[in-house]
């Protein structure tokens, strides 16, 4: 797990290009504190940079950028390849020679033997740049789930790339702000891919690679193979399949030469990961947090799991005073504005302080198996979409925020459907907060984002929205950024490619249950999970932020907001009539508008 940056250019000399990439890498040092490296091609037109967080093969042979024994390809790589040992064995049988024990070199040899078809053979989380010295093509490649970030900018025959937006700003490669970001933040609570807060800096789409040729031409290609779905209906075989594939994923993701642990919140997903991981590693370490506020205290559920373990548990109390103290650092760690990430920052900080370099997290189970209220609420959306779109235009005449959000359904658009289910503010309010025209807000939300339309509104559609909108743009982004801000790698076994593929083959009538979220997962492991955990109400990884932010002067003072509408919203927030995430979004925007 690392941070990467680079530049391919015909505009700069070697010294200038190396200086820029060095600055980019220095801006990413928090994510790669163990080592740094620079590679410049023989023709001086390409520079790769790397900041290393050593997880697999901690020796100096893991130094990057890395090349093969014949120097046919160079790579700068961020992530982990969990099936690298199997691929290494296959490649050695084909005659490949290795000089290290790293997964990084396996990627190079896989490319040299199988070309771009190799990308789909990788199982893991990854973002890398690879330079073919023969063809002089450069590839920017991102994993199939988009767990690891990779951003790029192409202009004037030059491509720059980096793991975080701050690298572009720090180096001066791109500094112009995209004025649309406040609209996205106030609607989504995050910046949706492929966009960023900078103009013409975009995200490489998950499961895609960008090929940049010597002449400056480039193409973007989906390297995944969409298998034909043959649904599995037999419940017993499904239970066995879930057991096998999840256990395989966890076993893969426990491979590390550095200290590894698990985030244990006390919820179903983290508890299940902990118990399964402890079967592979009985001395597994766990990290948990708790609060003085009783409504958020999950220690009873955490102890129901800890009583079954023998490894060390690190438990940390988080208080409102700590929130006040660390909030500036948390905001500084955000690569882009978001209403999430505070919880990830704290748990990552304490995992790092406890001596861990990598942890397992339960992200993905809710999205894949129906753990959110949206899986039920989408049924209402199905019937609402039968009404004339014009009838929803009247919603903006009402004062209640919930009623205003019905205005989204005026638009026949998947983005509008998502924002009706999960959006923070309606376009009419966003226009007032930002000083924009409402039509301009609607254009930013519905014209600029290219999201496929639904054929029907069912639980599969809800799973698509939660996976490709909420998890992709918010949970995965914020977990990566906050974890790496502490020099911590966060792994997500529920998003293992083979586990996801298996879940997609489960017939929806078995995969989703109307009465109990994630029932099929619970049934598969009911003998392992204590009753107190699987039969508990869903809570999520939640902090007492409603009270903490209401007591925070910078966030809760109306004097810090410029528009009259924003002041009104903050007044409502202090009365307990506005969710903290909406106030937090306004707080981040107010410094901009």
The pLDDT, as a whole number, for residue 410 is 87
pLDDT digits (tens, 9 = 90+) for 364-396: 999 999 999 999 999 888 888 888 877 787 777
Give residue 163's pLDDT: 97
pLDDT reported for residue 30 = 84
Q: What is the per-residue DSSP string for 138-170?
A: EEEEE-TT--S--EEEEETTEEEEESSHHHHHH
Alpha-carbon gap, residue 593 to 587, rounded angstroms: 11
Whether the bond between 194 and the residue before it is cis, its omega within 30 degrees of 0, is yes
Cα dihedral angle (464, 492, 36, 346), rounded to 10 degrees? 100
What residues of the chain score a pLDDT lower than 70? 1, 32, 53-60, 397, 536-541, 592-593
Structure tokens that stand for 253 in this block: 């993701």
Please answer whether residues 563 and 432 qualify as being in contact, where contact means their C-beta atoms are separated by less than 8 angstroms. Answer: yes
Give me the pLDDT at residue 96, please: 95
Closest CA to 144 of 205, 59, 233: 205
Contact 65, 48 (CB under 8 A): yes
Query: What is the number of alpha carbons within 13 Å of residue 100 lying toward its C-beta?
Result: 22
Phi/psi of residue 27, nearest 5 degrees: -70, -15
Q: What is the pLDDT of residues 507-542, one digit of tens each?
A: 999 999 988 999 999 999 988 988 878 776 665 557
Integer angstrom CA distances of residue 485 from 4, 328, 345, 348, 480? 14, 13, 8, 8, 8
Strands 151-155, 138-142: pairing kind? unpaired
Q: In Å, how far are 25, 337, 475 from 189, measured between CA atoms?
A: 28, 8, 11
Q: CA separation (Å) from 421 to 412, 534, 556? A: 14, 26, 26
142: closest CA among 472, 465, 369? Answer: 472
Helices marked H in 307-358: 320-333, 342-353
Q: 52 near 37, Cβ under 8 Å? A: yes
Cβ atoms of residues 586 and 561 within 8 Å: yes
Residue 448 falls in which region: left (phi positive, over 0), alpha (psi -120 to 50) or beta: alpha
pLDDT at 540: 55
Centroid of chain to Cα 555: 26
Residue bearing tokens 């989380």: 125
Fold of 235-321+330-370+460-541: Rossmann fold (3.40.50)
Question: 525: which DSSP letter?
Answer: T
In whole angstroms, how large is the CA radius of gyration of the chain? 24
Residue 229 DSSP one-character state: P
Q: Look at the block and give the residue holding tokens 């800096």.
A: 201
Burial of 270 by CB count in 10 Å (0-12 exposed, 13-18 middle, 19+ buried)? buried
For 400, counting Cβ atoms within 10 Å of its Cβ (0-12 exposed, 13-18 middle, 19+ buried), the class is exposed
How far is the CA of 245 from the CAs of 138, 248, 521, 529, 530, in angstroms? 34, 5, 12, 17, 21
DSSP 194: T
CB 443 within 8 A of CB 166: no
Please tell me the distance from the alpha carbon of residue 64 to that of residue 52, in angstroms, as a whole number: 8
Contacts of 381 (CB under 8 A, 6+ apart): 409, 417, 420, 421, 457
Percent of the chain with pLDDT over 70: 96
Identify whether the C-beta of residue 197 lies closer than 8 Å to the C-beta of residue 166.
no
Helix/strand/coil for 534: helix
Residue 261 backbone phi and psi in degrees, to 5: -150, -165
Q: What distance in Å separates the CA atoms of residue 582 and residue 363, rounded to the nearest whole number?
A: 23
Q: Residue 510: is it exposed, middle or buried by C-beta count within 10 angstroms (0-12/13-18/19+)?
A: middle
Burial code (b: 16+ CB inside 10 Å, e: under 16) for 50-73 equals bbbbbbbeeeeebbbbbbbeeeeb
Q: Which residue has the tokens 């903050």?
A: 570
Strands (E), 414-535: 489-491
Domain ranges in the chain are 2-222, 235-321+330-370+460-541, 386-429+440-456, 544-593
CATH code for residues 2-222: 3.60.20.10
**Cα(108)–Cα(62) distance, rounded to whole angstroms?**
13
Q: At how many degrees (to 10) do helices 476-485 and 320-333 cross?
A: 100
2-222 and 235-321+330-370+460-541: identical CATH topology: no
Torsion (CA) 466, 472, 477, 479 in degrees, nearest 10:
50
What's the gap between Cα 296 and its chain centre? 24
């Amino acid at each position: 797990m690392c941070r990467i940056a680079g530049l391919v250019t015909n505009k700069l000399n070697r010294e200038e290009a190396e200086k820029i990439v060095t600055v980019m890498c220095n801006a990413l040092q928090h994510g790669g504190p163990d080592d740094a490296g620079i590679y410049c091609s023989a023709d001086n037109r390409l520079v790769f940079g790397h900041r290393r967080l050593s997880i697999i093969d901690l020796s100096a042979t893991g130094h990057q950028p890395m090349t093969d024994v014949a120097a046919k390809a160079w790579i700068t790589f961020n992530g982990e390849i969990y099936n690298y040992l199997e691929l290494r064995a296959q490649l050695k049988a084909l005659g490949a020679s290795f000089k290290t024990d790293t997964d990084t070199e396996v990627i190079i040899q896989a490319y040299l033997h199988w070309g771009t078809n190799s990308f789909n053979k990788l199982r893991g989380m990854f973002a890398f740049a690879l330079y073919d010295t023969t063809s002089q093509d450069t590839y920017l490649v991102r994993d199939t789930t988009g767990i690891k970030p990779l951003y790029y900018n192409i202009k004037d025959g030059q491509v720059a790339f980096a793991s975080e937006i701050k690298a572009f700003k720090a180096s001066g490669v791109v500094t112009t702000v995209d004025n649309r970001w406040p609209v996205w933040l106030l609607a989504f609570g995050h910046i949706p891919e492929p966009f960023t807060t900078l103009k013409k800096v975009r995200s490489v789409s998950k499961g895609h690679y960008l090929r940049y040729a010597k002449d400056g031409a480039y193409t973007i290609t989906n390297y995944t193979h969409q298998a034909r779905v043959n649904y599995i209906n037999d419940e017993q075989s499904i239970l066995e399949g879930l057991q096998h594939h999840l256990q395989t994923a966890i076993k893969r993701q426990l491979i590390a030469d550095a200290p590894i642990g698990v985030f244990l919140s006390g919820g179903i997903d983290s508890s299940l990961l902990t118990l399964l991981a402890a079967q592979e590693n009985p001395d597994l370490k766990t990290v948990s947090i708790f609060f003085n506020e009783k409504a958020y205290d999950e220690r009873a559920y955490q102890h129901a799991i800890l009583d079954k373990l023998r490894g060390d548990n690190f438990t940390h109390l988080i208080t409102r005073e700590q929130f006040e103290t660390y909030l500036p650092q948390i905001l500084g760690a955000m690569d882009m504005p978001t209403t999430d990430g505070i919880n990830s920052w704290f748990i990552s900080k304490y995992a790092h302080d406890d001596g861990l370099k990598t942890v397992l997290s339960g992200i993905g189970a809710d999205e894949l198996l129906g753990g959110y209220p949206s899986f039920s609420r989408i049924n209402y959306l199905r019937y609402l979409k039968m009404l004339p779109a014009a009838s929803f235009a009247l919603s903006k005449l009402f004062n209640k925020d919930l009623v205003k959000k019905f205005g989204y359904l005026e638009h026949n658009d998947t983005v509008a459907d998502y924002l009706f289910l999960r959006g923070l503010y309606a376009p009419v309010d966003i226009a007032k907060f930002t000083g924009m025209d409402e039509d301009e807000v609607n254009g930013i939300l519905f014209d600029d984002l290219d999201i496929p339309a639904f054929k029907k509104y069912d639980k599969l559609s809800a799973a698509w929205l939660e996976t490709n909108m909420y998890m992709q743009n918010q949970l995965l982004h914020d977990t990566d950024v906050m974890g790496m801000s502490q020099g911590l790698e966060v792994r997500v076994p529920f998003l293992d490619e083979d586990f996801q593929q298996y879940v997609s083959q489960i017939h929806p009538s078995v995969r989703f249950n109307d009465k109990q979220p994630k029932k099929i997962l619970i049934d598969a492991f009911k003998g392992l999970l204590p009753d107190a955990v699987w039969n508990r109400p869903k809570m999520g990884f939640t902090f007492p932020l409603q009270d903490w932010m209401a007591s925070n002067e910078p966030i809760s003072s109306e004097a810090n907001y410029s528009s009259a509408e924003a002041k009104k919203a903050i007044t409502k927030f202090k009365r307990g009539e506005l969710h903290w995430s909406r106030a937090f979004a306004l707080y981040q925007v107010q410094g901009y508008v």
